[in-house]
Amino acid sequence: MKLNKDIRYIGVNDHKIDLFEGQYVVSNGMAYNSYVVMDDKIAVMDTVDRHFANEWLANLAVELNGRKPDYLVVQHMEPDHSGSIEAFLKVYPDVTVVGNAKTFLLLGNFLGKNSAPYRLEVKDGETLSLGRHSLTFVFAPMVHWPEVMVSYDAYAKTLFSADGFGKFGALDADEEWDCEARRYYFGIVGKYGPSVQMLLKKAAALDIQTICPLHGPVLSENLGHYLELYNTWSSYGTESDGVCICYTSVYGHTKQAVELLRDELTKNGCPKVSVADLARDDMAEAVEDAFRYGKLVLATTTYNASVFPFMHDFVTRLVEHNYQNKRVAIIENGSWAPAAAKVLNQLLAPCKNLTFEGTVTIFSALTDENRAQIADLAKKLCE
């Protein structure tokens, strides 16, 4: 697939995978993207997962049409992108592998110290000329590994963005970009918002007309939309006005409280209410919505003097992904010694700029007093 006269797409679709990184449900598969820049010198931009090495090498051979590549640019060493380096070097042993010092450290970890005998170690801001095209390497450490760098082609006004602007889903899947890119971002990159902000500032100085990520479609239209979303996500802002309710319920009483709150929020004009049963729904989507909306309600039972395991897991994920800048309310349920609110407050203590809107405590089943408290909470959250 030609992106322009000189840049060709040579990636693959993976419809065999069920869990990306062993945890994220990908019902529409994954794309492992790779590109080749055809010029006086030829540069291959990253490889693909090792299970698709033969397919990828065949795609590359078609585009080379008898020529041989000069460079393999390794922007990211995660195995879904570096997994075919060894197979590539067996076919093209004279190619120079381009990376930074940390790239080659990780390359040695994966393939051994003697892998890639021909190397070009680059520094931040250095440029590699291919002819008309030249690649400027912009380091992006911790987006989301320490060796990550992106490459800017000034001639084509194209940014090869590594995992930035990636999404779940194979390229032949018909699905909305925003939703699966958001779930991908917060699940995989979300902890490293400050690092993404630094990269966005560097990118702002470049004339970018096309973004070529390592997952998901090539972006060449309405780039402002994608850049704005990335800025919101990486600064931990609120993307959408609404309330995310995440709950666990053992015998249904906490669920009744959640349903009542949902109805009260809707009655009070809340533009969007997202409800997730943490024992049954996709945990990654719940994390995504917790970051997307400005308000979060955690509803759970006391369990073993703590909180129900799925809630504990969920809140731990929020904290690990740098959750902040939100309004939070709690509904706790405990038949004789409710402790969920205390535990949740302790778990959320590392999070920055959380505003707590109160706690509703239920002793087993809803009372009229609880119903009134939930109605008041809904009004407060809708303010």
Percent of the chain scoring above 70 in pLDDT: 100
Instruction: Indicate the pLDDT class of residue 268, thresholds 50, 70 and 90.
Output: very high
The pLDDT of residue 162: 97
Statement to judge: residues 176 and 32 lie in one domain: yes
Asked, for residue 15, whether it belongs to a domain, the answer is: yes
The domain that holds 65 is classified in CATH as: 3.60.15.10
Whole-number Å distance between alpha carbons of 38 and 251: 63
Asked, for residue 1, whether it belongs to a domain, the answer is: no
Asked, for residue 325, whether it belongs to a domain, the answer is: yes
Tokens 């070529």 correspond to 212
Statement to judge: residues 285 and 373 lie in one domain: yes
For the chain, the average pLDDT equals: 96
Asked, for residue 69, whether it belongs to a domain, the answer is: yes
Residue range 159-218, pLDDT digits in tens:
999 999 999 999 999 899 999 999 999 999 999 999 999 999 999 999 999 999 999 999
Statement to judge: residues 76 and 93 lie in one domain: yes
Tokens 């303010």 correspond to 383
Tokens 């381009």 correspond to 98
Statement to judge: residues 218 and 273 lie in one domain: no
Residue range 298-353, pLDDT digits in tens:
999 999 999 999 999 999 999 999 999 999 999 999 999 999 999 999 999 999 99
The domain that holds 335 is classified in CATH as: 3.40.50.360
The pLDDT of residue 3: 83
Statement to judge: residues 67 and 214 lie in one domain: yes
Average pLDDT of 259-263?
Answer: 98
Asked, for residue 89, whether it belongs to a domain, the answer is: yes
Q: Give 232's Cβ-side CA count (13 Å radius).
A: 16
Boundary (domain end) residue, out of 210, 234, 258: 234
Helix axes 368-382, 253-267, angle to 10 degrees: 40
Asked, for residue 2, whether it belongs to a domain, the answer is: no
Statement to judge: residues 223 and 318 lie in one domain: no
- Res 2 pLDDT > 90: no
Number of domains in the chain: 2
- Res 1 pLDDT > 90: no
The pLDDT of residue 20: 97
Statement to judge: residues 148 and 15 lie in one domain: yes
The pLDDT of residue 113: 82
Helices (H) and strands (E) in the chain, counts: 12, 21
Statement to judge: residues 153 and 60 lie in one domain: yes
Residue range 81-131, pLDDT digits in tens:
999 999 999 999 999 999 999 999 999 999 988 889 999 999 999 999 999
Instruction: Indicate the pLDDT class of residue 263, thresholds 50, 70 and 90.
Output: very high
Structural domain that includes position 165: 7-234
Asked, for residue 332, whether it belongs to a domain, the answer is: yes
What token pair was written down for 186? 């917060």
- To the question of pTM greater than 0.85 for the whole model, the response is yes
Higher pLDDT, 383 or 228: 228
Statement to judge: residues 46 and 160 lie in one domain: yes
Contact 343, 351 (CB under 8 A): no
Statement to judge: residues 96 and 199 lie in one domain: yes
Average pLDDT of 250-263?
Answer: 97
Statement to judge: residues 111 and 245 lie in one domain: no
Higher pLDDT, 4 or 368: 368
Whole-number Å distance between alpha carbons of 204 and 200: 6
Boundary (domain end) residue, out of 203, 234, 265: 234
Asked, for residue 375, whether it belongs to a domain, the answer is: yes
Boundary (domain end) residue, out of 187, 214, 234: 234
The pLDDT of residue 383: 87
The pLDDT of residue 18: 95
Residue range 138-165, pLDDT digits in tens:
999 999 999 999 999 999 999 999 999 9
Statement to judge: residues 211 and 90 lie in one domain: yes
Contact 296, 266 (CB under 8 A): no
Whole-number Å distance between alpha carbons of 206 and 178: 23
